[in-house]
Structure 1
Amino acid sequence: MDSQGIDETDRIILQVLLRDARTPVRSLASQARVSVGTVVNRIRHLEDSGIIKRYTVSVDYEALGYDIVVITTFKIAKGKFPEVANELGKEKNIITIYDVTGEYDAVVISVFPSRSELDAFLKRVQSHSLIEKTHTVLVLKTTKESEITLL
């Protein structure tokens, strides 16, 4: 076991679930070379310890018509990150909001179906009284998007 309290069996289970969270327990057991009961117990432990937070799907936003992906950094008025993050969280196009260190206070990943929707979003956030500065970059191509190699 390592510092996270997981061993090779846990790693195998996590790697398979990261690729496909709907993998049947029997298949997990086969791939980890353990019994079905062991897999059930290991998954329960991983859930209880907070390592597995939820089961979800990976959405292809481009296939849904959201071809524009942007990364926007925000300089926020001192001490106002929680308030701004809460308001930004209501924006339908925002996928992720990070609280970060450095020159900027937040990094936001967003998707848009058109330049006009992106433009409207940027005008909204730039006019917010608690947002002092923004910087937006357009993602041209995603070359890696995976958590699997962490294990």
Structure 2
Amino acid sequence: MENYQIDNLDKQILHALMANARTPYAELAKRFNVSAGTIHVRIEKMKQAGIITGTQLTISTKQLGYDVCCFIGINLNSARDYPQTLIKLEALEEVVEAYYTTGNYSIFIKVMTRSIDHLQDVLINKIQAIEAIQSTETLISLQNPISRTVMP
């Protein structure tokens, strides 16, 4: 099922569910002029193909008090330190994303903190305290004007 090719109906279903994952199948069926059974079958096929990997609740980090978003480029002492460093970074609740990258950094992470003081604490006492980390560069985000996923 991994070679499942999506068609226009699948794309319409995905767009609708990305806008509101709680849309009832019957409503989708009516909107797209097909049966609710067809919607169910299509969604199940896309789940089996790994196109739909789950549903997610979206929260406002700002409303929860996380006002500072930053990106930190990390240089490791050695490439072999990557697996253990990743485990240590994953244990830090402030680290919300991590990428293994080419270019200037071995790892690029996104960090959310409540304040600049909180960021300083996380950076000095948690991230830079990881022995395998040789150096870091921190970029503070001023705003996030574009935030979206890939459209099918």
* TM-score where L is the length of structure 2: 0.90
SS for the counterpart of 2:122 is helix
Question: What do residues 91-116 of structure 1 show as CA deviations (whole Å, max 9, x unaligned)?
Answer: 11111111111121111111111222
Taking the aligned partners of 2:18 and 2:74, their CA distance within structure 1 comes to 31
SS for the counterpart of 1:34 is coil
Q: Which structure 2 residue ranges, 5 or more long, are not aligned? A: none
1:122 paired to 2:123: yes
**How far did 1:150 drift?**
2.4
Count matched residues. 148
Partner of 2:85: 84
Taking the aligned partners of 1:89 and 1:109, their CA distance within structure 2 comes to 11
Taking the aligned partners of 2:146 and 2:52, their CA distance within structure 1 comes to 22
SS for the counterpart of 1:79 is helix
Taking the aligned partners of 1:36 and 1:25, their CA distance within structure 2 comes to 5
SS for the counterpart of 1:134 is strand
Q: Which structure 1 residue ranges, 5 or more long, are not aligned? A: none
Taking the aligned partners of 2:4 and 2:138, their CA distance within structure 1 comes to 36
Taking the aligned partners of 1:82 and 1:31, their CA distance within structure 2 comes to 47
1:95-110 pair list within 5 angstroms: 95-110=96-111
Taking the aligned partners of 2:93 and 2:80, their CA distance within structure 1 comes to 24
Partner of 1:143: 145
* TM-score where L is the length of structure 1: 0.91
Q: Which stretch of the first structure deviates more once superposed, 36-45 or 97-106? A: 97-106
Partner of 1:11: 11
1:50 paired to 2:50: yes
Q: Runs of 4+ in structure 1 displaced over 4 angstroms?
A: none
Identity value in percent: 26
Partner of 1:66: 66
What is the alpha-carbon root mean square deviation over aligned residues?
1.5
In structure 2, relative to structure 1, the CA distance for the partners of 1:26 and 1:83 (3 Å cut) is same
Partner of 2:31: 31
Question: What do residues 120-142 of structure 1 show as CA deviations (whole Å, max 9, x unaligned)?
Answer: 11002112111111111111111
